[in-house]
Amino acid sequence: MHKELLEDIGEKELIRRLAEFMPKNQVSDDCAFVKCKNKNLLVNTDALVENVHFNDDSISAFDIGWKAVASNISDLISSGCNKIIGINIGLVIPPKTDWIWIKSLYTGINRALEHFGGVILGGDCSMGKERIISMTAIGTQGKIKLRRNACKPKEIILTTGIHGLSKLGLMIKSKNVFDNNIFLTKNLINKSLQQFCQPKLNPKFLKKILNARPNKSVKTIGCTDSSDGLFQALLDLSIESNCRAIIDYTKIPKHKDWPQGNKWDEYYFFGGEDYELVFSLPRKWAKNLLCADKTITEIGFFLEGKASVEFKNCNNENLLKNKSFSHF
């Protein structure tokens, strides 16, 4: 009998199969929505695994702690969280781990919580061959639900910030050798290292969305974050909302010193871990938001049709042949 291995079926198919054991639409978003009597909750779990997500050569324990918090809270924000309650931590550590490493890890966790909100609620520790930090973050659902399946045809696609920086930061930390014709400015290097080591989030995003809302009857909009890369974020929105995403390559916001070329397009669209938000709004709502916040950029629109991501005004024919990050 043929065995189906995880490396063959892939992460997305694994999640689809696991969804059969859960209530409907439970895995449509990274966050779980828990309806409560007083305040509805958002719950999210992410795990960082040694030699998959981090190693001592590329990132410090302090920065691992910060990133573990950021990756969880980013998912809460992209679901419409208005208050971070706190986190639970599951820690798997080899017995010969230096206490200073763990102390630095938790210092980074607390520093990030001071920045984003919330406290350490508790957790569990266990012995293992590799270091694993599994974190569950809990927050309260705001007035508007942000969900991947809420995008609609004719809505404008927007994104916060710029993408690709964390990927470049990882490459710099990993001492990648770049082509001789590539020049990285000091500003680009510093921005990339900062985004890789201590990514910034958008905690005030929900408030901005509410302030720009022309129609208070709308309670749900389409949104996700770019933790797995900009392309994967667009594809997730397209699949869950069953719409065609049309992206104007010329409108994509890039760092002013970002190099040109097909390889750099790949780093930009498929790099991941930038934790920017990708979302859609009706045109009037989008216009209000764009006028109020210049860090948000219109990059395309949705149309009716089979779920897909299509680029216009793009000369890179191989762009869509790349693959997003998969854990398997």
pLDDT tens for each residue of 16-68: 777 777 666 665 666 666 677 778 999 999 999 999 889 999 999 999 999 99
pLDDT at 324: 57
Do the Cβ atoms of 71 and 64 come closer than 8 Å?
no
For residue 40, give the amino acid letter.
N
Predicted pLDDT of residue 123: 87
- For 228-270, how does the pLDDT look when each residue is reduced to its tens digit (9 = 90+)? 999 999 999 999 999 999 999 999 999 999 999 999 999 999 9
Sign of CA dihedral 92, 97, 101, 103: positive
172-189: per-residue pLDDT in tens? 999 888 888 889 999 999
Q: Give the torsion sign (CA, 282, 307, 161, 46).
A: positive
Half-sphere exposure of 306 (CA within 13 A, CB side): 0
**Amino acid at position 162, single letter:** I
Is the pLDDT assigned to residue 282 strictly greater than 90? Answer: yes
DSSP bridge pairs for 224: 278
User: How many angstroms separate the most distant Cα atoms in the chain?
Assistant: 61
Domains of the chain: 18-141 (3.30.1330.10), 145-321 (3.90.650.10)
| Torsion angles phi and psi, residue 110, rounded to 5 | -65, -35
Which string of b and e fits 194-206 if b means at least 16 CB within 10 Å?
A: ebbbbbebbbebb
- The Cα 77–Cα 67 span in angstroms is 15
Please give the DSSP secondary-structure letter assigned to residue 157.
Answer: E
Cα separation, 35 vs 33, in Å, equals 6
Q: Model-level pTM?
A: 0.87
**Residues 81, 145: Cα–Cα separation, whole Å:** 8
Q: What is the pLDDT at residue 290?
A: 97
Closest CA to 33 of 203, 205, 152, 150: 150
Residue of 132, 148, 119, 113 lying closest to 232 (CA atoms):
148
Res. 87: pLDDT tops 60: yes
Work out the average pLDDT over 289-301: 97
Nearest to 292 by CA among 300, 301, 302, 281: 281
Per residue in 111-164, pLDDT (tens digit) is 999 999 999 998 888 899 999 999 999 999 999 999 999 999 999 999 999 999
Of 195, 174, 171, 196, the residue nearest 184 (C-alpha): 171
**According to the model, what pLDDT value does residue 69 have?**
97
Looking at residue 305, the DSSP 8-state letter turns out to be S
